[in-house]
Structure 1
């Protein structure tokens, strides 16, 4: 794999930072997951669920193929072991708050003094500077709410709503991977590592950057509109007679409008005085939505699919998660990867969103049990059997 030989020590929990390490692992890096006693909180996400479903696919997705060591950094032996791990690593990746890392002697200056080639990657909620640098942040707070993403997605007049699990986290994972690999490239030129930092807040600002750039330049921005009165009714969601939602998104200009009207079985709408220009279609948006609702609502989905596809329009079904899981194109796009279940079989899981033809793994190992590799990892960094047993006895490791 592409990153074979790159050693990553992950001292992190939840999703954003472990997700970044998971992507690096999928691409061939060796990832050692350092957990505190009790483990990453995401290990326990389904612990209280009243369900007969086995497993924790949310945790497994971001942690497949890693090795787990449990260290208590509240004890000197645990702190020393983590520092020794970092001294042998290419990348130290963490989302622990900076003040806690400094107190434990695990800050960037301390670890890079012992290992100048180390790339120290820090994932935060709100960045490293400013009065709120140490404020705790999750994707729903720092990414979704504080960065304005929630208000920009809720249509005007509607209440904000929560985002699904890990959306902002996983986008931040991708940003973090990009930053780490840029630093790896720089180190190849200079021989020296560096600090890299990403935040949920900055990721959120970038994700809505196309619109926020307008706000920054002009001091105002159009709000999101309800489906029944969009800014452009030719770029909208519609529903078939058999209750299947789909979205159409015409290319720039008005070239696709006649094709859409014809696909809807209403070619005369092109010459309708209410809809002749893009400005008129915008001004009369609710009226055109009603016309297209009635037109597409009289067809079953198979007919809608045939017409839109034959017109070569940009469109897609609005699929449920179950439909995504069964979609053959999802598999063809290598959007899923098989993960070993430890019993001789595999389970499908979302893959890191990049394809390297000829270097795609057939499957990935499962996520580790808590502390599954503590003894072997300590031995690899020079601890003797007696020292390891003493650390277990002192509850510095588990």
Structure 2
């Protein structure tokens, strides 16, 4: 049994951010009903080109990532008949999840008071670009604008002298992080309702999530009065620790050392790179000497590590005591045995998808595929108790797909 078995989520949302919260809740066992426009569906379904990658045909990972394990109902909530169905669904839901802006929530009759009128105990969760208060509460945005650019990551990751600004590392990067935050908030609100009987309104924004991701650097910046500035590309990570930084291997790949106590690990590293004599070198034989001679130690490590491939060093470093990791791309992670052992990548229909990061009782979630557009419309309406005459009438009126 998963923690959210028996919880029903009614999702009225589009694109990546808020639907990814629904995907996490589905991973945790919730029954997530995705409401899509009766004709056009979620615009995300039309997304084929992302960066340099283009997807032809189905399944489409651009849809599957944020919508796996849900059921889809095509519903036109601008029509009175469609709104009546939505309210009936809300009566039987535990969570109402939406990405709609305040003006559209009011226009379609799906704001907090509207939904609470039909279900006073429902947890109402909304994802926004800039938060529920302030002069921009009614503005829309995307992870590139609100999470990446405005919250500080883009400027903080772009080295001085770079021509332009570094883009997010992947599509829906800030969306997925923010969606996980929203799912966690919903889970906490469900626990509060269980204990007190009181439902909550849960708010998560891309801007707030971006700031949280940059929280350490932001705190330092505000305390010291200067922005976080990254080192130039290729600079060793630490000026006082040769075992905290990136090193290139002979095949053009890299590995990362993050050993915060270099004196503790130096001798072991020297043995693993077949240079045991360096452990007793007077330049490096104490933690203080290592700090003072970091530049020389880095130079030696760069020369040695550049003599073998990443695969060769990975085999050699399997018994290395200090923390290190290969620098892997988004394809190489599929061959990582540690990722496979923990089932962080799982089958979902015809695709493999990344599981949401929380596991319960050392068990990976079951990932179902994303639903085809409106695929469960009749099934969900029949569960509500509507008969076929009513369903046909709704279809004829254009209220459901």
On whether the aligned pair clears a TM of 0.5, the verdict is yes
Decide whether the 8 Å contact of 2:21 with 2:183 is kept in 1: yes
Q: Which residue of the partner structure matches residue 30 of structure 2?
A: 29
Separation in structure 1 between the aligned mates of residue 331 and residue 150 of structure 2, nearest angstrom: 31
Q: Which residue of the partner structure matches residue 325 of structure 1?
A: 334
1:162-181 CA distances to partner (integer Å, 9 max, x unpaired)? 11111111111111111001
Deviates more, 1:348-357 or 1:263-272: 263-272
Separation in structure 2 between the aligned mates of residue 51 and residue 373 of structure 1, nearest angstrom: 25
How many residues in Structure 1 have an aligned counterpart in Structure 2? 389
Instruction: State the SS of the aligned residue for 1:251.
Output: coil
Instruction: State the SS of the aligned residue for 2:229.
Output: coil
Instruction: Please report how far the alpha carbon of residue 23 of structure 1 lies from its aligned counterpart in structure 2 after TM superposition.
Output: 1.2
Instruction: Please report how far the alpha carbon of residue 88 of structure 1 lies from its aligned counterpart in structure 2 after TM superposition.
Output: 1.3
Find out whether 1:41 has 2:43 as its counterpart.
yes
Q: Which residue of the partner structure matches residue 377 of structure 2?
A: 374
Q: Which runs of 5+ in 1 are unaligned?
A: 342-346
Decide whether the 8 Å contact of 1:118 with 1:192 is kept in 2: no
Find out whether 1:242 has 2:242 as its counterpart.
no
Q: Structure 1's 199 and 222: CA in aligned 2 closer, same or farther, altered over 3 A?
A: closer
Find out whether 1:121 has 2:130 as its counterpart.
no
1:361-391 CA distances to partner (integer Å, 9 max, x unpaired)? 5x43321111111122223224332222222
Q: Which residue of the partner structure matches residue 75 of structure 1?
A: 79
Decide whether the 8 Å contact of 1:71 with 1:397 is kept in 2: yes
Instruction: State the SS of the aligned residue for 2:9.
Output: strand
Instruction: State the SS of the aligned residue for 1:299.
Output: coil
Instruction: Please report how far the alpha carbon of residue 321 of structure 1 lies from its aligned counterpart in structure 2 after TM superposition.
Output: 2.1
CA RMSD of superposed structures (Å): 2.5
Separation in structure 2 between the aligned mates of residue 4 and residue 32 of structure 1, nearest angstrom: 14
Aligned partner (choices 215, 229, 242) of residue 235 of structure 2: 229
Decide whether the 8 Å contact of 2:148 with 2:210 is kept in 1: yes
Instruction: State the SS of the aligned residue for 2:331.
Output: helix
Decide whether the 8 Å contact of 1:63 with 1:368 is kept in 2: yes
Instruction: State the SS of the aligned residue for 2:44.
Output: helix
Separation in structure 2 between the aligned mates of residue 51 and residue 190 of structure 1, nearest angstrom: 47
Find out whether 1:177 has 2:183 as its counterpart.
yes
Separation in structure 2 between the aligned mates of residue 50 and residue 330 of structure 1, nearest angstrom: 26
Aligned partner (choices 305, 320, 325) of residue 311 of structure 1: 320
1:179-238 CA distances to partner (integer Å, 9 max, x unpaired)? 001100110112121100000100011111111111122222441112433450532211
Q: Which residue of the partner structure matches residue 19 of structure 2?
A: 18
Length-normalised TM-score, structure 1: 0.89
Length-normalised TM-score, structure 2: 0.89
Write out the 4+ residue segments of structure 1 that deviate beyond 6 Å after TM superposition. 47-50
Instruction: Please report how far the alpha carbon of residue 135 of structure 1 lies from its aligned counterpart in structure 2 after TM superposition.
Output: 1.6
Aligned pairs for 1:240-279 within 5 A: 240-252=249-261, 254-261=263-270, 263-264=272-273, 268=278, 271-272=282-283, 277=289
Instruction: State the SS of the aligned residue for 1:271.
Output: coil
Separation in structure 1 between the aligned mates of residue 235 and residue 49 of structure 2, nearest angstrom: 44
Aligned pairs for 1:83-162 within 5 A: 83-158=87-162, 159-162=164-167
Deviates more, 1:174-183 or 1:70-79: 70-79
1:323-345 CA distances to partner (integer Å, 9 max, x unpaired)? 2112221111120222134xxxx
Separation in structure 1 between the aligned mates of residue 57 and residue 78 of structure 2, nearest angstrom: 35
Instruction: Please report how far the alpha carbon of residue 121 of structure 1 lies from its aligned counterpart in structure 2 after TM superposition.
Output: 0.3
Instruction: State the SS of the aligned residue for 1:92.
Output: strand
